[in-house]
Chain A
């Protein structure tokens, strides 16, 4: 079975600082994809970044990067230079055999 764990229900970060949101997963399948989504208070789910299980390099998308440690089964999201607009819920998800499993989310608050 697939399982995603996000252990930080809530986090605070100072504007312009970097923040790491934790995500660990449990799967016995060798091929999978890892995704991070942002959900602002408006409710829409916004795709941020993707990491394939066979990718050799950590994924990066602008201020977002994914610290992928395959042996530890962790896929932490790093947001650099936090902005007030980054305040939102963040969900980690694993995709395997076309099904997605989402974590319980981390609520990030960026302080001015």
Chain B
């Protein structure tokens, strides 16, 4: 079946502008995660959605970052008033979360954000 998709694949923006990044998870996956990966670094957790529960926003670096998940499927990560330090690859992952190996996350190809 189709994997996790993300759009756009690349985004170049000017400092101070707002950007929206989109993630389409695997159909039927109830959990959705956003991560940020700076060049040569590991993955930094941003936010996690699970079904209809309130999202875990504990990883969002500032109030300029927000995310929504509509209808339990598509998610949008919004960064307001972008700064140069926001430049990174933003990865989305989804998971079935039914226990054990089904907790495996499957990642999208990422959105490379460059803030000039």
CA distance in complex: A102, B33 (Å): 13
User: Which residues from chain A contact B93 at a C-beta distance below 8 Å?
Assistant: 45
CA distance in complex: A104, B40 (Å): 9
Task: State whether A98 touches B50 (Cβ < 8 A).
Answer: yes
Task: State whether B50 touches A99 (Cβ < 8 A).
Answer: no
CA distance in complex: A105, B44 (Å): 12
Q: Report A58 CB to chain B, min CB distance, Å.
A: 14
Q: Report A51 CB to chain B, min CB distance, Å.
A: 9
Q: How large is the interface on A (under 10, 10 to 19, 20 to 34, 35 or more residues)?
A: 20 to 34
User: Which residues from chain B contact A95 at a C-beta distance below 8 Å?
Assistant: 103
A33-B100, A50-B101 known; A99 vs B107 contact (CB < 8 Å): no
A43-B109, A44-B107 known; A104 vs B41 contact (CB < 8 Å): yes
User: Which residues from chain B contact A99 at a C-beta distance below 8 Å?
Assistant: 45, 48, 56
| B25 proximal to A (CB < 8 A) | no
| B43 proximal to A (CB < 8 A) | yes
Task: State whether A35 touches B110 (Cβ < 8 A).
Answer: no
User: Which residues from chain B contact A101 at a C-beta distance below 8 Å?
Assistant: 45
Task: State whether A44 touches B110 (Cβ < 8 A).
Answer: yes
Task: State whether B45 touches A100 (Cβ < 8 A).
Answer: yes
| A91 proximal to B (CB < 8 A) | yes
CA distance in complex: A43, B100 (Å): 26
| B1 proximal to A (CB < 8 A) | no
User: Which residues from chain A contact B91 at a C-beta distance below 8 Å?
Assistant: 45
Q: Interface 1/0s, chain B 72-116, versus A by CB < 8 A?
A: 000000000000000001010100010011011111011000000
Task: State whether B43 touches A91 (Cβ < 8 A).
Answer: yes
CA distance in complex: A103, B89 (Å): 17
A43-B89, A45-B91, A104-B41 known; A98 vs B103 contact (CB < 8 Å): yes
CA distance in complex: A33, B91 (Å): 21
Interface residues of A in 28-84 (CB under 8 A from B): 33, 35, 37, 43-47, 50, 52
Chain A positions within 8 Å of B, measured between CB atoms, are: 33, 35, 37, 43-47, 50, 52, 91, 95, 98-105
